[in-house]
Structure 1
């Protein structure tokens, strides 16, 4: 009986530790996309990961605990590769995720169900308080897209911005 209890405690501890390792917004997520590999670039409805050597412009954004981005609207040219430098001016974790309005809405709903879900893609930056993040993105298609914070409750509170690609 004692061994069974020890095994249950050990199993519970491992489960808790593994869940913590999957935390959305883990600082190590940013390191996964530091090296650009053209062979691994996947096209999306709103563009693709950009080659850092082909950046034509750097756009600085800030995020706050008032659930807002500054600036909240950005205009870029089709084909342009942009480096987003994102600063978290708040006291809690925020992120910037580029996508279509529908994709962001679906992703936000998923994050509400699984707030500890790990994911790190080239179109997102998870930024801890008082820290900086970066996204390099090439906008290959014209249209209106969005960026949002998908931390549970942030998207619903209006933490959404717009990208117009001309």
Structure 2
């Protein structure tokens, strides 16, 4: 019978903190084997892994590899860029809404002016028709009077 003790890595937990930083922890198993068969297995305590902005005892690149670490860093950068774009987009939307409200107010004012001008035009047309009727009433009718025929002269 041979006994063997070994420690193996079992999982890596990656967390994004509220401030956008990335943190990672590794857990493992301490095992006892008898003739190659596991007879005891116990989880180890979590070990803090280092990231680009959060140094720890074991570099994350050593665990995940450089490509994965760079991908995580790039994801974080993209997330920050996306947040900045979202904020910029929100400002543009607010400016567009303000411009739309201004244009709507101007359109409403123009509609009111058109309505006022239409009413004034109708009133002026009515006044013109009344004035023409009054002019017609006051202008004497020109009639042609036929002169009587002269009577024949008697000699």
Give the shorter-chain TM-score range.
under 0.3
CA radius of gyration, larger in: 2
TM-score where L is the length of structure 2: 0.17
Q: TM-score, normalised by structure 1?
A: 0.16
- Greater helix content: 2
